[in-house]
Amino acid sequence: MTDLSPPSGAPRRRVTMSAVGRMAGVSQVTVSRALSDPSKVSPDTLARIRRAIEATGFVPNALAGALASSRSRLVSALVPSITNIVYASLLQTFSTGMREAGYQMLISETGFDPAEEERVAATHLSRRPDAMLLTGIHHSTGMRRMLLGAGIPVVEVWDLTDSPLDVCVGFSHAEAGRAVAAFARGAGHERAGVVSAGDARAGRRRDAFADAFGGDVLRVDLTGPATLAGGRDGLARLLDQGFARGVVFCSSDALAQGVLVEAASRGLSVPGDIAVVGFGDQAFAAHLDPPLTTVRVDREALGAAAADAVTARLSGDPVPRAIIDVGFRIVRRATA
């Protein structure tokens, strides 16, 4: 076979299908045919082509193949944060389901800005994904137009709507907020405060909790992601507003952890002086001191349900439900 190695010190160039053909002693068309349908090439020719590919390190152009076959075997996933365990855990089971169906994931972080989500989605769609996972149900008009024009399966997760783009898998954030309010009232609490991150879903839980709890609910609305430092600041600001005995509902377990740290630093007992309820039931929640009462959503089941829905869509099978509610439950521990 022809030696196609560059001279020592020469810049490396991308190996082409034509170069593979020259090394194997066949045409570029034959190489293309061997890659797209090996049954159309003789065993001897196929063996030479495979040896040439192995020798050169040639990687077929998946996008070109997708244009011919209408399948890229890629599924896009857009999430606000790839480091947040809430999204990471559901993505893990979603990715497992897609791999088992023969697909790989292309993941990007969007934050909570709809304009940024639209820009990222446009970049992903230029790669011709076969399907797309989105976080949430609120998207820009341009984003909706692009997705409808792409004509690919779309699954929206971590929220519910009566009019999904295609399929949504999630739970009602408003119902979660109301359930925590009923729990707090049932436990005998007469005063409440809320420490909430700045995203829309946290806001819906906050507002539903305040409406259902009734009375004068003090609120601290934070900007940016939920952090332990934000939780400490949140409780400090509630206390500055005159909050005393009562329950503090946090939009995430990270904020609740910060509230517990701040309470301890001020000599407040939990749940004696204040009770604390988080959201998410992250792995550390059960191991805090005291263990955290929180709202649990089965993130793994959510990711698996999303994968099943996308796989069914890609296979042309009917999806029994376009709206899949995985629900939630309050996990009562020592903080409330």
- Which amino acid is located at 65 in the chain? G
Bridge partners of residue 258, in order along the sequence:
none
Q: How many residues does the chain have?
A: 336
The alpha carbon dihedral of 88, 90, 96, 101 has a sign of negative
What DSSP line would sit under 306-331, residue for residue?
HHHHHHHHHHTPPPS-SEEE---EEE
Q: Which helix (H) or strand (E) holds 246?
A: strand 246-250
User: What is the CA angle 157-161-166, rounded to 5?
Assistant: 65
Q: What is the pLDDT of residue 205?
A: 97
Query: Strand 131-135 to strand 167-170: parallel, antiparallel, or no bridges (unpaired)?
Result: unpaired
Residues of the chain short of pLDDT 70, as ranges, are: 1-14, 59-70
List the chain domain ranges. 17-60, 72-171+300-327, 173-296
| Domains 72-171+300-327 and 173-296 agree in fold | yes
Cα 264 to Cα 246: distance, rounded to the nearest angstrom: 16
Q: How far apart are the first and last CA of the chain?
A: 75
Q: What top-level class would CATH report for the domain 173-296? A: alpha beta
- Within 8 A by CB and 6+ apart from 145, the residues are none
Query: φ and ψ at 202, to 5 degrees?
Result: -60, -35
Fold exhibited by the domain 72-171+300-327: Rossmann fold (3.40.50)
187 burial via Cβ count (<10 Å: 0-12, 13-18, 19+): middle
* pLDDT score at 320: 83
**Distance set, CA 137 to CA 155, 160, 219, 279, 323 (Å):** 10, 7, 25, 20, 12
Q: Give the angle 260-263-265 at the CA atoms, nearest 5°.
A: 110
Type of residue numbered 204: R
Q: What Å distances lie between residue 186 and 210, 250, 294, 295, CA to CA?
A: 15, 18, 15, 16
Distance, CA of 320 to CA of 336 (rounded, Å): 39
Query: What pLDDT, on a 0 to 100 scale, did the predictor assign at position 8?
Result: 42
Residues 6+ apart with CB under 8 A from 32: 17
pLDDT at 12: 46
Q: Which pLDDT belongs to residue 14?
A: 64
Closest C-alpha to 266, from 225, 238, 286? 238
- Supply the pTM of this predicted model: 0.78
The SS3 assignment for 38 reads: helix
